[in-house]
Amino acid sequence: MSDNERDDREDRPESAKKRKVESEDTNVTDKIKESFPGAVKSADLAAHVKAVLNKHDYVDAKTLIATSFCCDEVNRELEQDITSIYNFNFSMGGLAGFAFGGVTSFGAMAHHIPDGGSCLVVYGPHVGIDKDGTVGKVNRRGRHNGSGPCCGSAAAAAAYCRSVQAGAKPNPSPEDALDAQQTFVGNMLLPEADRISSSSDPSVELPLALFDVQDELMNKIIGKACGEVAGEGKIAILGGIQINTPTGTSEYFLPKVFEIRDNKGERVADLMGSFA
């Protein structure tokens, strides 16, 4: 039995209890196709990533998965799809999906990679689509009074940007940890304020803008800490936007970046073509 075929059941987390997909809600799926063309189902994404990385000498049992997703509980399904393949994940993320763990978290993760192995870093913001096809909201489990904001942190940051555009003074950098992450989310999004407000659909543009900001941050982190990956270990990077849906409809992910770098930070394979 090969390393990729070995089950390692004693170490692997119990398979996620998937939401039962009885019938895809076309209000939701049609909106996904319209607003985020190229998005794929999360379960299909995980299987695709595994197949592609295996062709590039990734061994499942020697791969450590690192994620940078928002704290929101709706984002765990993609993590579960991926960890069902690669075992438990190292979490770098905080509010809105920003990699608040920074260079320190990447360096720590790199030191946890199994001997002779590599890592896969998956990151990005998220956005909900509710039963009515409204982007930026989602129907949450056990709550029966309609849908609510998703991502809430992103919505708060967008409101903050609008207030600054209207003349409010930007928030200073936080001096304590009480709400430091949200302050940073708002200030890091601020340079994208005009782009969002001038778009034809700000609710769609918001996660796209957030991704660009987070992608820049992740590139800085990897550029600074890539040398912590030992030996011939590689760094696979999958960045995009999680799309959260009501119960009964599959979760989706819009891939924006999929590549492999060496431990010097050089790109050795661009894998986005695998989604064509």
Measured CA to CA, the distance from residue 146 to residue 135 in angstroms comes to: 14
pTM attached to this predicted model? 0.91
Q: How confident is the model at residue 15 (pLDDT cuts 50, 70, 90)?
A: very low
- Burial class of 123 by CB neighbour count within 10 A (0 to 12, 13 to 18, 19+): buried
| Residue-wise pLDDT tens digits, 156-191 | 999 999 999 999 999 999 999 999 999 999 999 999
- First-residue to last-residue Cα distance in the chain: 32
Instruction: Count other C-beta atoms under 10 Å from residue 88's C-beta.
Output: 12
| Residue-wise pLDDT tens digits, 92-142 | 999 999 999 999 999 999 999 999 999 999 999 999 999 999 999 999 988
Q: How confident is the model at residue 17 (pLDDT cuts 50, 70, 90)?
A: very low
By C-alpha distance, which of 235, 257, 208 is closest to 113? Answer: 235
Per-residue pLDDT, averaged over 49-72, amounts to: 97
Tokens coding 83: 């960890």
- Burial class of 70 by CB neighbour count within 10 A (0 to 12, 13 to 18, 19+): buried
